Amino acid sequence: MVGTTQHDLRLAALRDSLASQHLDGWFVGREDMFQGEEVQAGDERLAFLCGFTGSAGFGLVLKDRAALFSDGRYTLQMVNQTNQANWTTHTMPEETLAGWLKGMSVADLKIGVDKNLVTLATFDRLARIFGDADATLIGADMNLIDSIWQDQPSPPVPAPFRLNVATAGATMAEKLQQLDAALQDADCTAIFLSRVDSVNWLTNIRGRDLACTPVMHAYALYHRENGLILLAEPGRLAAVMVDDLASETSVVPLANFAALLDPDAGYDSGTKVMIEAASLPKSIFDILDESTVELVRRPCPVMHAKALKNEAEQEGTRCAHIEDGASMARFLAWLETLTPGQLQETEIAEHLLSIRRENPNFISSSFETICGSGPNGAIVHYRAIKGADSALVGDSLLLVDSGAHYSSGTTDITRTMAIGTPSEQMRHAFTCVLKGHIAVARARFPADSTGQQIDVLARGPLWAEGLDYAHGTGHGVGHIMQVHEGPANLSKRGTERLGTGMLLSNEPGYYRQGEWGIRIENLIIVNPPDDAGFLSFETITHCPIDKRLINAGMLTEAERAWLDAYHSKVEALVSPLLDGDEVVREWLRRACAPL
């Protein structure tokens, strides 16, 4: 295990800091102040402390023991990356913090947490959990891990940019009118916007504060009469503070937020301010709570508006997928020239990235590529690490889940390819997954349908064969923003109604632990209702599906017709972008030929 001594010393230093602050324990999550899926290097506090680099999880450090919690994706990784003499590891939901505390003697202990890094909803939930164990959760103003992290990385140099109206599809003023109407309906005068994606979407700002999520970190305060205030260091936004941003907004450091809640500025006693407990940091809630305003807890109304992509966002995303289709064609044609053992998983992922980077409209990957060969493909959120990754496995499957942000839109695609000769078991499972994928793509459903109902369509063909998969069938996707976007999803928990313009993934799968994994992912847009009021999907990802893995005899006539029509469209849209590359164009022609 790498860095054991280093992490042991850090754990000891944190415990020394606990004593100096009169605390008995410290709660550390992976989240930053903005609660995004991706964080900057300087916010990887959990990894700094214990070595665990998974994308989700938390730790609890007491004076004589420490526990690490994450989900089933990271069961083995937690064990492999931590010193088991110092840390116990626990897989959720089978094991919980509340359950662990029941076996501990924690009565009267004071547990600290950085209240900048925990939401109001999470703080309240943790306070109840610790309270049930007769311990007390203390919101701290300083972060004890930061105090011992001597070489903590600094944030990247700010590089904000603005989407033009042709790309964004609406001006900031038009979007603020939508927000104003939502506040009026809720009988609220103002709102604290605690979701970074909401702030970026409202203002048509994007940035490079994160490697794979093109956002600019900022909060905002909007008052129906007094307008929009961006809460960030002014220098970080200086490059885009022109035109309507300069004339219709102002930028105030977050440190000065409390001063804005002045009766003379429209925040007098009884002024109703909307907040979202699921994303609002506890530290900011405390400032609001100490003022005279009345707080109204509601889901952020921008989230729903942002999910319903306008015509420009839809068209831009379609264009991005055609461009990405050309990159994927070049990648897959190259992949077929490889022999088992020739390259490692990380080298394959790097080659795909190099192809995408050749496109002048490429901004960044939309997430770190998942490239799993053979058994690693069965790990749903596998991350290949250079030096610890696998060589390309023969007579098996390669699963590649990747995506990119382009200047017009965001992509997310998964393809599973045969390497060598696939077994009949592989082809049978792949065809079951394909049938589920086609069922979603061809779905026609009432306008009040939810993601739960669509999720069942994808699972039906697998259930019929005694197969299933543990993840959701699809997630929302942002427009040049988060690749995972709420509030809608296609899953067993998908209670949000689907609406025209929502951009979602369609990605059923099947995984044989220790052997191979299968997933087929395209992005889909919810079409407007037809004459009967029913909705449907438009598939906008354009990349061949590996016909070597299809058992054609398992497909119905309608399924075969869908697949042939899909491949015909892929060739028609992507082939013109391959001018001058006849080898790839010929590969695409063969890959898109009728089944």
pLDDT given at position 345? 98
For the cut 90, the answer to whether the pLDDT of residue 190 exceeds it is: yes
Sign of CA dihedral 389, 392, 394, 398: positive
Which pLDDT tens digit goes with each residue over 433-492?
999 999 999 999 999 999 999 999 999 999 999 999 989 999 999 999 999 999 999 999
pLDDT above 70 coverage of the chain, percent = 99
Whether pLDDT at 323 is above 50: yes
Mean pLDDT, the chain, rounded, equals: 96
User: What per-residue confidence (pLDDT) applies to 3?
Assistant: 45
Rounded-to-integer distance, Cα 145 and Cα 143, Å: 5
In tens, the pLDDT along 550-595 reads: 999 999 999 999 999 999 999 999 999 999 999 999 999 999 999 9
Structure tokens given for 4: 């054991």
How large is the average pLDDT for residues 147-159? Answer: 96
Q: Model's pTM, two decimal places?
A: 0.94
Residue 415 CB partners (closer than 8 Å, separation 6+): 328, 332, 399, 400, 520, 521, 543, 545, 546
Residue 76 predicted with pLDDT over 90 = no
Per-residue confidence band for 72, with pLDDT thresholds at 50, 70 and 90? confident
Where does 118-241 have alpha helices with state H? Answer: 120-132, 144-148, 165-168, 172-185, 196-203, 234-237
> What are 354-390's pLDDT values in tens digits?
999 999 999 999 999 999 999 999 988 888 989 989 9
Predicted confidence (pLDDT) at residue 2 exceeds the cutoff of 80: no
Q: How far apart are CA 356 and CA 330, in angstroms?
A: 10
Cα gap 315→119, rounded to integer Å: 35
pLDDT above 60 (res 1): no
Residue ranges and CATH numbers for the domains of the chain are 6-148 (3.40.350.10), 161-306 (3.40.350.10), 308-592 (3.90.230.10)
Section 248-269 average pLDDT: 95
pLDDT computed for residue 4 by the predictor? 54
Instruction: Give pLDDT tens digits for 8-32.
Output: 999 999 999 999 999 999 999 999 9
Q: Are strands 219-223 and 272-275 parallel, antiparallel or unpaired?
A: unpaired
pLDDT band at 74 (very low <50, low <70, confident <90, very high): confident
